[in-house]
Amino acid sequence: MYANVLQKACIQCGLCPTICPAVFSLPDEGGSARAISGEIPTELQPDVQTAADSCPTGAIQVS
Ligand code: SF4
């Protein structure tokens, strides 16, 4: 599994870093959420899926 945040769609609500802080973060300097690059570790995949399903703007893509 890979995760990507569509920068233009993110409204910086803070939900995804709350659900899965190991993968998602909001930059200290402001701006859209970011996901780690590379493959998501197996144990984190359920939380990443939950974050993607919960994002209010559908900004998180998983593949
Ligand atoms: S849950 Fe969606 S809108 Fe909220 S910070 Fe994460 S990517 Fe942005």
Going by the DSSP 8-state scheme, the letter that residue 28 receives in this structure is T
User: Is the C-alpha dihedral spanning 20, 21, 22, 27 positive or negative?
Assistant: positive
Instruction: Report the alpha-carbon distance of residue 11 to residue 59 in Å, rounded.
Output: 9
Please report, for residues 10, 22, 34, the alpha-carbon distance to residue 37 in angstroms, rounded to integers and kept in the order given: 17, 12, 9
Tell me what pLDDT residue 35 has: 98
Separation of 54 CA from ligand 1 center, angstroms?
9
Tens of each residue's pLDDT in the chain, 63 residues: 999 999 999 999 999 999 999 999 999 999 999 999 999 999 999 999 999 999 999 999 999
Q: What is the pLDDT of residue 55?
A: 98
Helix (H/G/I), strand (E/B), else coil: 54: helix
pTM for this model (two decimals): 0.96
Which residue reads 């939900």 in tokens?
A: 15
Class of CATH domain 3-62: alpha beta
Question: Is residue 10 within 6 Å of ligand 1 at its C-beta?
Answer: yes
